[in-house]
Chain A
Amino acid sequence: MQSLKQQWFGNVRGDILSGIVVALALIPEAIAFSIIAGVDPMVGLYASFIIAVIIAFAGGRPGMISAATGAMALVIAPLVRDYGLQYLFAATILTGFIQILLGILKIAKLMKFIPNAVMLGFVNSLAILIFMAQVPHFIGISTMTYVFVALTLILVYTLPRFIKVIPAPLIAIVLLSVIAIYSGVELRTIGDLGTITQTLPTFIIPDVPFNLETLRIILPVSISLAIVGLLESLLTSQIVDDMTGTESNKNREARGQGIANVINGFFGGMAGCAMIGQSVINVKSGGRGRLSTLIAGLFLIFLIMVLGELVVKIPMPVLVGIMVMVSIGTFDWSSFKYLVKAPRTDAIVMLTTVVIVVWTHDLSKGVIAGVILSAVFFVVKISSVKIKQEGNRYFVSGQLFFASTDSFVDYFKYNEINRTKIQLDFSNCRIWDESGVGALVKVQELLREKGIDVDVAELDAPSKELVSKLQGI
């Protein structure tokens, strides 16, 4: 891994430029995710500023962008709706502490146990939910709304072919806002949904009663947020690792996310995490170091200070169009091929994750269900022992342990064996525990009762050791 100096100043020019690009691309997303969460745009903008700046110092993956995100906004929405903004700040702070704790407990190792199918379900359901959140903002409002959504989509998909330096969503916003304002078209604007204040965030203590009742309300939300935030952050860090061909400290990243959220909550921001899309934009624009993340945060808040009063004039349909683009970009389109080609059980795990998330609107529930389901499938898969007969040699293959002993014993219980001497070949089987040894002993006795002489062959060293140890007792 690079030295700290290298992480900060190894790529100054690239980092400054890409940081500026990311700041421009972040603004519409931070506002849109605030709207999904049901809070003022400032809450998402402050969060994006604070998280980006703190992560620049505390994160474990240089060049990765963290801010207010859709995944977190979706978990936040019900809390804000039922209990209000102050509870969100408290939940954000608690989320941070949980993440710090998980980081100290080396959560990154656990990430390896989350199968691909679940991660695919995660990104796909996230994409579906972001899209669904846009529907109320454009279906059945007015014809011009449809027109502006369509225009935005055309612009964001065609512009990058001609203009590569400025993010296409920003050009679409400026162009279409100007058209909307000067043509006097009736469109809802961001100002209709919230206010932009041109002040820096200030330190606050969330105005909630400090009692168990509050904890009961925020703890489940905070746990969900902590899981979702770490999942997306660690996935994003893997992607940035791959794009840059470097490694990163995942546990430091987990702690950094926590630190950022704690501070974020105390400055009136909503919980956030790393963003796949923005991090990809950053790396593609030449960003590699911590400086890019810092510049992104600082330039974002600078733009809001300067242009705040213009931001409220942005038409909602333009923002909706950009969010549709974000959801299309988030969705993993090769998943359809995956559904056909991957093993049945993997496809079922992926679909289950998606269905549960879309049903509950909570990404963490889908992920937990997906992980449990795939663990069950895994145990079922490895808990069958197969036996193949060739002459008087019986080849056992699979894993012999507490869950698989039945299939092993049953074979010899129910199959007619008309020989006086057989050999059990264990070259493709490992015995894992007491139950496995017990099953072997049971089969030997079973066959001896039938008058068949049994010879156990080709036991591998660990199995042999286990058998002699347990039989010796």
Chain B
Amino acid sequence: MYKHILLAADGSENAIRAAKEAIKIATCFDGMIEVVYVADFEKSKSDVLHSSSSEALELQRRKKIAPVEQLLREANVTYKVKILRGTPGPEIVRYANEQQVELVVIGSRGLNGLQEMVLGSVSHKVMKRVNCPALIVK
């Protein structure tokens, strides 16, 4: 039974595909989806410099997950949104394990291809370290 599903969202196409799969599972089990977005430590300086206020920055981050939220609303799935701060991979793992979610759904590739080449993919790291099953969506 997957009652509590964590959906990692980063504003990318893959996250939207991941959302669609998460919805399928959630509707099967009548589960709740928790949409998690990680505000990356590395981008904090640039984000602050390019936004006019902390409220504007918060809005920009909410906007990144807006397409996913819309899908969830249309599918009539119970969901909540959580914005975390840290390094995306480890932060998602920490939160998933702490909240004891039953399934993690994550897109296979985020926004930054170059970073992934150098640092390895976030989804791979998450899959290896979470205590629950993980679904990586292509």
Which A residues form the contact surface with B (CB < 8 A)? 112, 115-116, 119-120, 123, 161, 235, 238-239, 241-245, 276, 280, 283-284, 332-334, 338
Within 8 A of A (CB), among B95-115: none
Output the nearest chain A residue to B45 by Cβ-Cβ distance: A239
Interface contact A334-B52, CB-CB below 8 Å: no
A-B pairs, top 7 by smallest CB distance, nearest first, are A243-B44, A239-B48, A242-B44, A238-B48, A245-B85, A242-B48, A239-B45
The yes or no answer to B50 lying at the interface (CB within 8 A) is yes
The yes or no answer to B117 lying at the interface (CB within 8 A) is no
The yes or no answer to B76 lying at the interface (CB within 8 A) is no
Contact status of A242 and B46, CB under 8 A, knowing A116-B51, A116-B52: no
Contact of B39 among A115, A161, A242, A333 (CB under 8 A): A242
List 6 A-B pairs, Cβ < 8 Å.
A115-B52, A119-B49, A242-B44, A242-B85, A245-B83, A334-B46
Interface string of B24-63 (1 = CB under 8 A from A): 0000000000000001010011111111111001000000
Interface contact A243-B41, CB-CB below 8 Å: yes
The yes or no answer to B1 lying at the interface (CB within 8 A) is no
Contact of B54 among A115, A116, A241 (CB under 8 A): A241
Interface contact B50-A338, CB-CB below 8 Å: yes
- Cβ contacts under 8 Å, B87 to chain A: 284
- Cβ contacts under 8 Å, B57 to chain A: 242
Please measure, in the bound complex, the distance between the C-alpha atom of A211 and the C-alpha atom of B57, giving whole angstroms: 49
Interface string of B61-93 (1 = CB under 8 A from A): 000000000000000000000010101000000
Please measure, in the bound complex, the distance between the C-alpha atom of A332 and the C-alpha atom of B51, giving whole angstroms: 13
Interface contact B48-A334, CB-CB below 8 Å: no
Please measure, in the bound complex, the distance between the C-alpha atom of A334 and the C-alpha atom of B54, giving whole angstroms: 19
- Cβ contacts under 8 Å, A123 to chain B: 49
- Cβ contacts under 8 Å, B50 to chain A: 116, 120, 334, 338
Please measure, in the bound complex, the distance between the C-alpha atom of A333 and the C-alpha atom of B51, giving whole angstroms: 15
Output the nearest chain B residue to A329 by Cβ-Cβ distance: B45
Output the nearest chain B residue to A334 by Cβ-Cβ distance: B46
Q: How far is the CB of B90 from chain A (nearest CB, A)?
A: 11
Interface contact B85-A244, CB-CB below 8 Å: yes
Interface contact B49-A280, CB-CB below 8 Å: no
Which interface class (under 10, 10 to 19, 20 to 34, 35 or more) fits B? 10 to 19
Q: How far is the CB of B15 from chain A (nearest CB, A)?
A: 21
Interface contact B41-A238, CB-CB below 8 Å: no
Please measure, in the bound complex, the distance between the C-alpha atom of A276 and the C-alpha atom of B50, giving whole angstroms: 15
Please measure, in the bound complex, the distance between the C-alpha atom of A280 and the C-alpha atom of B45, giving whole angstroms: 9
Most chain A beta-carbon neighbours within 10 Å: one of B50, B54, B83: B50
Q: How far is the CB of B51 from chain A (nearest CB, A)?
A: 7
Interface contact A332-B46, CB-CB below 8 Å: yes
Q: How far is the CB of A232 from chain B (nearest CB, A)?
A: 12
Output the nearest chain A residue to B40 by Cβ-Cβ distance: A243
- Cβ contacts under 8 Å, A332 to chain B: 45-46, 49
Known: A161-B118, A241-B54, A338-B50. 11 other contacts (CB 8 A): A115-B52, A161-B119, A235-B48, A235-B49, A239-B48, A242-B44, A242-B47, A242-B48, A280-B44, A333-B46, A334-B46
Interface contact B49-A116, CB-CB below 8 Å: yes
Interface contact A239-B52, CB-CB below 8 Å: no
Please measure, in the bound complex, the distance between the C-alpha atom of A238 and the C-alpha atom of B49, giving whole angstroms: 9
Q: How far is the CB of A430 from chain B (nearest CB, A)?
A: 21
- Cβ contacts under 8 Å, A116 to chain B: 49-52
- Cβ contacts under 8 Å, B44 to chain A: 239, 242-243, 280
Please measure, in the bound complex, the distance between the C-alpha atom of A112 and the C-alpha atom of B45, giving whole angstroms: 17
- Cβ contacts under 8 Å, B118 to chain A: 161
Interface contact A120-B49, CB-CB below 8 Å: yes
Contact status of A284 and B119, CB under 8 A, knowing A238-B54, A242-B57, A334-B50: no
Please measure, in the bound complex, the distance between the C-alpha atom of A112 and the C-alpha atom of B54, giving whole angstroms: 11
- Cβ contacts under 8 Å, B83 to chain A: 245
Output the nearest chain B residue to A337 by Cβ-Cβ distance: B50
Please measure, in the bound complex, the distance between the C-alpha atom of A120 and the C-alpha atom of B47, giving whole angstroms: 11
Q: How far is the CB of A185 from chain B (nearest CB, A)?
A: 31
Interface contact B49-A284, CB-CB below 8 Å: no
Please measure, in the bound complex, the distance between the C-alpha atom of A127 and the C-alpha atom of B19, giving whole angstroms: 41
Please measure, in the bound complex, the distance between the C-alpha atom of A297 and the C-alpha atom of B90, giving whole angstroms: 29
Interface contact B54-A242, CB-CB below 8 Å: yes
Interface contact B41-A283, CB-CB below 8 Å: yes
Output the nearest chain A residue to B47 by Cβ-Cβ distance: A242
Please measure, in the bound complex, the distance between the C-alpha atom of A119 and the C-alpha atom of B49, giving whole angstroms: 7
Please measure, in the bound complex, the distance between the C-alpha atom of A333 and the C-alpha atom of B45, giving whole angstroms: 11
Please measure, in the bound complex, the distance between the C-alpha atom of A147 and the C-alpha atom of B86, giving whole angstroms: 36
Please measure, in the bound complex, the distance between the C-alpha atom of A239 and the C-alpha atom of B47, giving whole angstroms: 9
Contact status of A243 and B85, CB under 8 A, knowing A280-B41, A280-B44: yes
Please measure, in the bound complex, the distance between the C-alpha atom of A161 and the C-alpha atom of B54, giving whole angstroms: 31
Please measure, in the bound complex, the distance between the C-alpha atom of A244 and the C-alpha atom of B83, giving whole angstroms: 12
- Cβ contacts under 8 Å, A120 to chain B: 49-50
Please measure, in the bound complex, the distance between the C-alpha atom of A302 and the C-alpha atom of B30, giving whole angstroms: 59
- Cβ contacts under 8 Å, B46 to chain A: 332-334
Interface contact B41-A284, CB-CB below 8 Å: yes
